[in-house]
Amino acid sequence: MGRIVAISNQKGGVGKTTTAVNLAASIAVAEQRVLLIDLDPQGNASSGVGVVEREGPKSVYPLFFAEATIDDVKQSTELPYLDVVAGSRDVAGVEIELVDDPDRATRLRDAVEAVRDQYDWIFLDCPPSLGILTINALSAADVVLVPMQAEYYALEGLSDLVGTIERVRSTLNPKLALHGVLLTMFDGRNNLSNQVADEVRKHFHVFDTVIPRNVRLAEAPSYGRPVILYDAGSRGSHGYLNLAREILEHQTAPAA
């Protein structure tokens, strides 16, 4: 049975979509069956793996209205073990269209559960907000992975997200847990970065892997490829491969 991971942070520019794309690709390279669902109307996770679907039926949008299944809308990628459900401009209107629907917070969950057994991992790339799209992802997920840039304001955003996770757990999804915080765009020479990292580690599980600032990682999306296909030898690629290894090892480790 696949593990469903929401990748979320309501603060933009922290490497959320970069993490969704490159973690999904790195785990797929390990021959794990991976599905990446792009919930951001900008569709950057989709284009980051070479799939562009900004509107129309073959996107995430019809899943919210039971007009299609994931099997209907998923698309293959350059990596044999990685499928994607593309983002769509249309999905920006879901919050308004479902405003009076009592099930508006759980529309995605049934669609994802229907394919859970087909994949080892399902990653949900959330938009940079705590609106209905993110709530749907949190309602469907087993765990939440939080990419976070090591800066002061990120600590405030993390507190807000944890509060949302706790509310979703108490009302919609009792099994939901915080998987961990991933430090991104990290510069170990910066004293503030190290101070923020130390503070986060006092309160949350922080992955051992740290994603550095890396030019090749930033360039890869413009070529529609995960960094492992764009420049496998780059520091950014090594960072996400190490994160994938850390997550897979944790997943298979025997219980204490």
How far apart are the C-alpha atoms of 91 and 43, rounded to whole Å?
Answer: 10
Q: What is the band of 153 on the pLDDT scale with cuts at 50, 70, 90?
A: confident
Confirm if 149 and 184 have CB atoms less than 8 A apart: yes
Mean pLDDT of 165-194: 90
DSSP state of 80: T
% residues pLDDT > 90 (the chain): 74
Mean pLDDT of 110-130: 95
pLDDT at residue number 76: 95
Mean pLDDT of 212-221: 94
Element spanning 150, H or E: none
Report the amino acid identity of residue 130.
L
Is 52's pLDDT higher than 90? no
Mean pLDDT of 126-130: 89
DSSP state of 117: G
Tokens of 154: 């990120």
Element spanning 219, H or E: helix 215-219
Q: What is the band of 255 on the pLDDT scale with cuts at 50, 70, 90?
A: very low
Q: In what order do the strands lie in the sheet with 121-125?
A: 75-76, 82-85, 34-38, 121-125, 3-7, 143-149, 177-184
Mean pLDDT of 206-221: 94
Is 256's pLDDT higher than 60? no
Tokens of 214: 């890396």
CATH tag, 3-250 = 3.40.50.300
Tens of pLDDT, residue by residue over 222-231, are 999 999 999 9
Tens of pLDDT, residue by residue over 60-102, are 999 999 999 999 999 999 999 999 999 999 999 998 999 889 9
Q: What is the band of 254 on the pLDDT scale with cuts at 50, 70, 90?
A: very low
Q: Kindly report the length of the chain.
A: 256
Is 252's pLDDT higher than 90? no
Is 157's pLDDT higher than 80? no
Q: How far is CA 171 from CA 9, 49, 115, 140, 179, in A?
A: 20, 34, 24, 13, 19
Is 203's pLDDT higher than 70? yes
Q: Where are the domains of the chain?
A: 3-250
Least confident of 4-8, 32-36, 202-206: 202-206
